[in-house]
Amino acid sequence: MTLLEMKNIVKEFPGVRALDGVTFDLQTGEVHALVGENGAGKSTLMKVLSGVYPYKTYSGDILINNKIEQFSNIREAERAGIAIIFQELSLVKELSVGENIFLGREPSHFGVIDSTLLYQKAARLLNDLNLSINPRTKVGNLGIGQQQLVEIAKALSQEAKILVLDEPTAALTESEVKTLFGILEKLKVRGVGMVYISHKLGEVFQISDRITVLRDGKTVGTNETKNLTVEKVIALMVGREVGDIFPKISHEFGETALEVKNLSAFDVDNPNKKLVDNVTFSVRRGEVLGIAGLMGAGRSELLMAIFGAWNGKTAGEIFVEGKRVEINSPSEAIENGIGFVTEDRKRFGLLLEQSLLDNLTLAALKQISGAFLTHRSRETVAAQNIMNLLKVKANSPLTMTNTLSGGNQQKVVLGKWLLTNPKVLFLDEPTRGIDVGAKQEIYAEINKLAKEGLAIVMVSSELPEVMGLSDRILVLHEGKLTGEFTKTEATAEKVMARATGQN
């Protein structure tokens, strides 16, 4: 019996159509996997379903048990029986497991919370799910994996008919994954319909009944899992060729600029878990080294750990131009000739309320003005020169940064680091959120910098971008280096296979 139908869903953001006529359905007692590359539209579709994006901010129809629903907020979706568990957990760490499960719905008598009944109900629910967790334990004292299972228990306490799991095993151990799958099998018998979003194709094939593939905001196929292969799903996920948007320029490589040996980065919340696991690589002057992988693979964490910006524990050795260096902070990374264009330019890369001048010269004040005094005229000349070089569309260096388009803001972040005269430049999602025209300008600049001898390490969730720009590609999966390809060896299928843990 059809529990859920989503018909012709269209969701647009400024300049981007994130969902383009997506159709999806869910049967009672079914696990329906939703897969696709990063940015394919999976999470956006589920945010439409769960009321995060309310009715009228999208077009198309949502039907539950053949009745059209138009949710204005998350609470309305929950009342209709929809529970969604995002990767970012919503638990309050200072409260107990039981208090979290029934938060906002606590059993009470005459306005007073009945704690005894609350913990009895929580214990019954946890026991029913075969979870040996004490409901009185503070959530903050649990491991990330157990917290994920508590989040599922919380969703089920709302008597959800539709359960959406977004990367549910990302933080789970092997035994916790087994526990989760046991819970999902139990829920199938009860008639709960589940949408399972995951990059781990092995798990998708193990637990799902059907698989729908999204690509570039469109549904490209829905099939029964038993009729598919991992290779077929990867082909559907990738399904496109790298076009002429990428300049065909050959780079000449020089000496090794950066070498990293056995680098590990540990989870801040779970110090025994490695988010980057003994990664070793090098990059030469004039080379663009692409790092591919799916969400949670450890790509950004790798760059942050090298740059001294990772808040957790790290281990390993870093060599710049053959000399071993100790980098414990971003300022030490800059001193050693490393620049870092971060993935979230608005949060980490720019001071939006400040001028272009302030932003462009921020990381290079010592080089431009000297160690002790600022020299405004020198800074202005340096800022104007870099704006001319990168063709930043703004009247002057005094223009406020928040008035620029996304593409021009990205050029400012790039310019900020170029003014430090780096030996190595890290680019994390360098074209995220900018239009195709601006992307081409950034691509041309990356190639030009490589041609001038800069060593570039680039992380991108867009596989065509990694393949189109990189001289060599490293692939990460669950923190480990699982593949390395030259430009001529790399195919989308090969890279995606390694990114999903296939050999």
- Rounded distance between C-alpha atoms, residue 340 and residue 418, angstroms: 10
pLDDT confidence of residue 181: 92
pLDDT given at position 476: 96
**366, 367, 368, 418 from 372: Cα distances, Å:** 8, 11, 11, 21
Q: What is the pLDDT of residues 29-66, one digit of tens each?
A: 999 999 987 678 898 999 999 999 999 999 999 999 99
Considering only the C-alpha atoms of the chain, give the largest distance between any 2 of them, rounded to a whole number of Å.
77
Query: How many CB atoms sit inside 10 A of residue 182's CB?
Result: 12
What DSSP letter does each residue of 152-182 carry, written as one string? HHHHHHTT-SEEEEESTTTT--HHHHHHHHH
Domain edges within the chain: 2-238, 256-337+422-499, 353-421
The H or E element containing residue 76 is helix 74-79
Residue 17 backbone class (left: φ over 0; alpha: ψ -120 to 50; beta: rest):
beta
Output the pLDDT for position 434.
Answer: 66
Phi (first) and psi of residue 399, to 5 degrees: -60, 140
Architecture label for domain 2-238: 3-Layer(aba) Sandwich (3.40)
DSSP letter, residue 139: G
Contact of 171 with 300, CB cutoff 8 Å: no
Name the CA radius of gyration of the chain, rounded: 25
Helices and strands of the chain, counted as H and E runs: 17, 22
| CATH homologous superfamily, domain 256-337+422-499 | P-loop containing nucleotide triphosphate hydrolases (3.40.50.300)
**Residues forming a β-bridge with 32:** 195, 210
What confidence score (pLDDT) does residue 168 get?
85
SS3 content of the chain, % helix, strand, coil (to 5): 35, 25, 35
The predicted structure's pLDDT at residue 291: 97
**Helix (H) or strand (E) run with residue 23 in it:** strand 16-27
| CA 411 – CA 390 distance, rounded (Å) | 7
Dihedral sign (CA 87, 92, 98, 99)? negative
pLDDT the model gives residue 345: 64
Sign of CA dihedral 36, 39, 43, 49: negative
Q: What is the pLDDT of residue 290?
A: 97
Which residue bears the tokens 């704690």? 115
Low-confidence ranges of the chain (pLDDT < 50): 241-243, 371-373
**Same fold yes or no, 2-238 and 256-337+422-499:** yes
Map residue 300 onto helix, strand or coil: helix
Q: From residue 480, give the alpha-carbon distance in Å to each of 3, 124, 339.
A: 39, 39, 24
Question: Closest by alpha carbon to 402, among 435, 442, 354?
Answer: 354
With tokens 């819970």, the residue in question is 183
**What contacts 234, CB < 8 A, 6 or more positions away?**
201, 493, 496, 497, 500, 502
Whole-angstrom Cα distance, residue 265 to residue 302? 7
- Match 């692409």 to its residue by tokens: 290
Q: What is the predicted pLDDT for the residue at 40?
A: 84
- How far apart CA 264 and CA 479 sit, in angstroms, is 8
**Best CA proximity match to 399, nearest among 390, 412, 389:** 412
Give the span between the Cα atoms of 427 and 414, in whole angstroms: 9
Query: SS3 for 122?
Result: helix
